Amino acid sequence: MYWLPTLSILAAVPFTLASPLAPRWDDLQVKHAWNTVPKNWECQGHPPEGTTIDLRIALKPDRENALVDTLYEISDPAHPKYRMHLSKEEVAELVAPHPDTLELVNSWLEHHDVPSSSVSPTHGGNWLTLVGVPVSKANDLLGASYQLYRHAETNDTVLRTIGYSVPAALHKVVQTVAPTTYFGAPRAMRRTMHLQPNATTLQDGDRELREALANAKPGSAATVPASCASTITPTCLRALYNTAGYVPAATSSNKLGIAGYLDEFANHADLTTFMNRFRPDAASAAFTVVPVSGGGNDQTNPGVEANLDIQYAEAIAFPTPSTYWSTGGSPPFIPDSNTPTNTNEPYLDWLNFVLAGTSIPQTISTSYGDDEQTVPKDYATSVCNLFAQLGTRGSSVFFSSGDEGVGGGDCKTNDGTNKVQFLPEFPTSCPFVTSVGGTIRVNPEVAVSFSGGGFSNYFTRPSYQSTTVANYLASIGTKNQGLFNPNGRAYPDIAAQAQNFQVVVGGSTISVAGTSCSAPTVAGVFSLLNDFLISQGKAPLGFLNPLIYTSTSASAFNDIKSGSNPGCGTQGFSAVTGWDPVTGFGTPDFVKLQALVG
């Protein structure tokens, strides 16, 4: 006997989706397949006999548009339900599949002798997890050929198939199955940061800068010294983005989260050293490490990315409590091991973990991404919808926009046509996250050349962008025509400084650049805004984009009017007055945002 969720919405009803006759489970139709083995991956042959795999199946909800419709209602400042966020249980009801879907899928699994004890539902039955499925059985279920693949640069080994199918009877109800054709191994995920070995570093901190600004009015251009153009510290950012005068007052309930991957460990001792050097009044700053899917916490091996994220988010939002999620990849594959692989689904692992909790931090930052075209569309859509669930539950989710401008490498499509076009990034292209681009210099700030930006090929332009992006496209005429999808979700939405960040790693200060700097910076600013609202007994901001794109919000950002993001043999896009696909609406001004949301 198979499971059925207990939610009232899933009460038994007449079976209508299935054919009056038993479905043909051998009538397989392709769900997704690559033309060739993805770039940089090499097939290593079949896994040892007896190898097992954990599968996740995303089912389409009974009410197809209920989640997104609700998200837009509670995120629209003009809607009566604005900021009326939902509980875990209420979201589960929104995304629950039809009972007939569950019966049909259960029948399919039963046909293949998948034990009911190995099947468990999450998110109201929206996702199923099948634990310990023999690879031979997974091949039969999915018409697949799972093999081992090694990444040529990182030596990661993963268990994947270059194509999979599901029975025709399930195509209308199954969104995606993972792991299948997504080859995004953790260490192959693109970090959105890079080191600057020849840049100036401040080993002894920025005491003189702090003293110079101590009696100045925060936020005015005159209080941001020229030195911040060559070395960025928390003092620079707090002055630039006007947060220095705010003291958090809701630290018992407001929370900030940083999602970490790639065996990147945030170091407690380095955070203390960093604060002593750059923000001594926050020397007591700390964070909690929460492991996800076998993620570690090796304090002898501090990660540059992890330290960057936690140090700058904390430096702006202190003393807001912070969580660092250390999300593991799959364990090294041992040829004679039959233990299930974790399968390197980093976003999916982390999202499932966070959404399973009864409470979620009100502000979340992530600084990783992949070329959108390397992520199967069915998988990207399912993951994007999970980010929508975070927004519906009241979290503001930030992703760095990437460090490749409009695209890196040869910019050729991987669909067999080898067409040259701009290459958007995912997850920052998901319309349910806030994408953060990069700036450089001060008085004024300008776009940094590597700031990722462009238009998604997977996700259509969301309604909150319709007027703004249409106006921008009209202003550029035929520039870059044919190289991007003008109907796609445009990004980034906003921006922040992205170069010359002083970061402490192993006790020493180094200089770091990338939109990995921008995302935690902006997360810190908006965490303070959530603190402000919560301290007044109001709900947090949740999903931000509909607010950001209102006609009244533009004045709360510092518009970036110069710079560009070249790539793919072009100059890319240019920063202009108003929104642009280089820096979005620009960088935040906390005091003006405070007035806007308060």
Kindly list the distances between the CA atom of residue 460 and the CA atoms of 301, 321, 490, in Å, as whole numbers in the listed order.
41, 36, 9
Q: Which two tokens stand for residue 80?
A: 């009566």
**Cross-strand bridge partners of residue 251:** none
Please return the burial class of 501, using the count of CB atoms within 10 Å of its CB with bins 0-12, 13-18 and 19+: buried
* Interaxial angle between packed helices 515-535 and 304-317, expressed in degrees from 0 to 180 and rounded to the nearest 10: 30
What gap in Å lies between CA 451 and CA 225, rounded to an integer? Answer: 23
Helix (H, G, I), strand (E, B) or coil at 4: coil
Is 281 annotated as contributing to ligand binding?
A: no
465: nearest Cα among 566, 583, 548: 548
Q: How many helices (H) and strands (E) does the chain have?
A: 14, 27
Element at 528 (helix H, strand E): helix 515-535
What gap in Å lies between CA 305 and CA 276, rounded to an integer? Answer: 20
Those residues with Cβ within 8 angstroms of residue 102's Cβ, 6 or more apart along the chain or in another chain: 4, 5, 10, 59, 125
337 catalytically annotated: no
Is 559 annotated as contributing to ligand binding?
A: yes
Q: Residue 76: what residue type?
A: D
Kindly list the distances between the CA atom of residue 261 and the CA atoms of 277, 353, 527, in Å, as whole numbers in the listed order.
27, 14, 22
Q: Residue 501: what residue type?
A: F
Q: Are 493 and 435 in contact (CB under 8 A)?
A: yes
What gap in Å lies between CA 31 and CA 216, rounded to an integer? Answer: 60
Those residues with Cβ within 8 angstroms of residue 417's Cβ, 6 or more apart along the chain or in another chain: none
Q: Which of 62, 156, 270, 309 is catalytic?
A: 309
| CB-side neighbour CA atoms (13 Å) of 451 | 37
Q: Which two tokens stand for residue 323?
A: 């969580």
Judging by DSSP bridges, how do beta strands 587-588 and 557-558 pair with one another?
Answer: antiparallel
What gap in Å lies between CA 129 and CA 497, rounded to an integer? Answer: 40
What's the CA dihedral at 583, 580, 441, 282 to 10 degrees? -30
Q: Which of 76, 264, 270, 305 is catalytic?
A: 305
What is the C-alpha radius of gyration for the chain, rounded to an integer number of angstroms? 24
583: nearest Cα among 552, 562, 569, 567: 562
CA dihedral for 260, 265, 270, 272, sign (positive or negative)? positive
What gap in Å lies between CA 195 and CA 371, rounded to an integer? Answer: 21
463 catalytically annotated: no
531 catalytically annotated: no
Q: Which of 75, 293, 330, 516 is catalytic?
A: 516
Q: Which residues are catalytic?
A: 305, 309, 516
| Known binding-site residue numbers for Ca(2+) | 559-560, 578, 580
| Known binding-site residue numbers | 559-560, 578, 580
